[in-house]
Structure 1
């Protein structure tokens, strides 16, 4: 799946898709609560109200850069809380290469935040050691995001994620810490969308008068467009996350900005429009 924004192309590379099993993430999104949001079907929910979700990366090609935004779960990673995310052996790198993006062709890795399903392919295991998957790339990580998780003492899961997917990048000298409003290149600017994590960012693309926004996780599923007050259990600050969704939806509704969802399954992208007292995604 590919989108064109002026001179920029965005290509989706899927690692994992699923239907149902999302109550651990969005407990308010019961089938009974989802079914009345009829526009979610068929792309984002099935006929019984079960949510469809995806874990994928985006390769963003500008005239001067080849950027991979978020790197999914990765293979061979241990200590993950969700069993089918643990010790994976999937074809993501082969799929990435088959799409025309071999790892050594990527010059920038951009992490919207440092959760498990956004940094996993930062590294791969070689001879029992974690090495950068994209050896020619500059890895961009949020300064506030990195400093927050470095200071947290009561999250052994995050310590494990850092050990196998973040710290090896630091040690290899490939990491660059950026601010939440950093300009990456002429076409790419970060947008602070805090709440899911303390340094969370979205990615604004602007080229030849066209615009798109890669969401990251300030919303995990399009049901949160209709119900901005629905928070995920993974949010660091749920109230701030709700405020961020309301602010971003007011900013985006009725504009031509293409919304490209980091966990949106199926068609993945659309435009935000007002829908009574709330909003919907037109695809």
Structure 2
């Protein structure tokens, strides 16, 4: 199982690397992707073990990571992981976690003050945690010069206007208050809806279903393409069977339709698919297949 933070690849002139916050065997495959028949996991064991399913076991391997995009002299972070010192009752993997994420960023040449843009593909706790840091008991933005691009529909749903996700989970309020609200108070939050063009290379696009505001980031440079899909995919089995949702999708029917749409375009346009939680190479080219799509080639 790969764990080298220095792993990366190029998309035309765009440099992509990643910082891994944590990875390992996590939840049972039946909990991560409950819609997927266990026989699918078994039939594709050679493609899934050890980077996506533990050897000889029933747990999925999950990676918590941030993708770092450097282009045109700018540094963009795609999702910011879990964060340190968070109150996340009911989730021992996230609760009061302490790690060296910012030091890992610095090891690939990125200091907090160097970050120009933070993209939160959606507002879940493992995608917004390092938006902020604790400064003498107060949560403040971790990246003082960055614009934080946050989907407006998620900001509404998980914020006070939407009753913190309708009040269904205490953790939604906690996530918003420690990782999103401080960015609003600092004036660094940029809410967007439908689509948002960062420049001629990077474009955000709505991809709802997992959450109301879930999004993908498209990259195009010198004829090469990639699409950062956040939690559209938690495991490669969802490429093989795109109708299979994770156990965390708020609108399963919409999530499945969005997943198929994004994967069809990726196959047609030869986009490299870059999910938030894949281990191994972390990114893969897909092709159309009988039941869904195939794993054509992993990133170098």
For normalisation by structure 1, the TM-score amounts to 0.94
Q: Distance in 1 between matches of 2:31 and 2:279?
A: 18
Contact 1:37 1:226 in 2 (8 A): no
Structure 2 residue 203 is matched with structure 1 residue 189: yes
Partner residue in 2 for 1:60: 69
Partner residue in 1 for 2:3: none
Contact 1:221 1:263 in 2 (8 A): yes
Deviation digits for residues 136-193 of structure 1, max 9, x if unmatched? 1111111122122221331321111011111011011111112231101221001221
Structure 2 residue 107 is matched with structure 1 residue 93: no
Q: 1:44 pairs with 38, 52, 61, which one?
A: 52
Partner residue in 1 for 2:250: 236
Paired residues for 1:130-149 under 5 Å: 130-149=139-158
Q: 2:84 pairs with 70, 75, 80, which one?
A: 75
**Cα RMSD (Å) of the superposition?**
1.7
Deviation at 1:11, TM superposition (A): 0.8
Q: Distance in 2 between matches of 1:50 and 1:254?
A: 32
Seen in structure 2, the aligned counterparts of structure 1 residues 145 and 95 have a Cα distance that, compared at 3 Å, is same
Specify every segment of 5 or more residues in structure 1 that has no aligned partner in the other structure, as ranges.
none
Seen in structure 2, the aligned counterparts of structure 1 residues 129 and 181 have a Cα distance that, compared at 3 Å, is same
Partner residue in 2 for 1:19: 25
Q: 1:203 pairs with 217, 220, 234, which one?
A: 217
For this pair of structures, how many residues does the alignment match? 283
Deviation at 1:203, TM superposition (A): 0.6
Q: Secondary structure at the match of 1:253?
A: helix
Deviation at 1:123, TM superposition (A): 0.5
Partner residue in 2 for 1:218: 232
Specify every segment of 5 or more residues in structure 2 that has no aligned partner in the other structure, as ranges.
1-6
Partner residue in 1 for 2:4: none
Partner residue in 2 for 1:276: 290
Seen in structure 2, the aligned counterparts of structure 1 residues 30 and 80 have a Cα distance that, compared at 3 Å, is farther
Contact 1:187 1:205 in 2 (8 A): yes
Contact 1:73 1:120 in 2 (8 A): yes
Paired residues for 1:106-145 under 5 Å: 106-145=115-154
Q: Distance in 2 between matches of 1:145 and 1:17?
A: 26
Contact 1:145 1:197 in 2 (8 A): yes
For normalisation by structure 2, the TM-score amounts to 0.89
Flag as ranges the 4+ runs of structure 1 deviating above 3 A: 28-33
Q: Secondary structure at the match of 2:173?
A: helix
Contact 2:241 2:291 in 1 (8 A): no
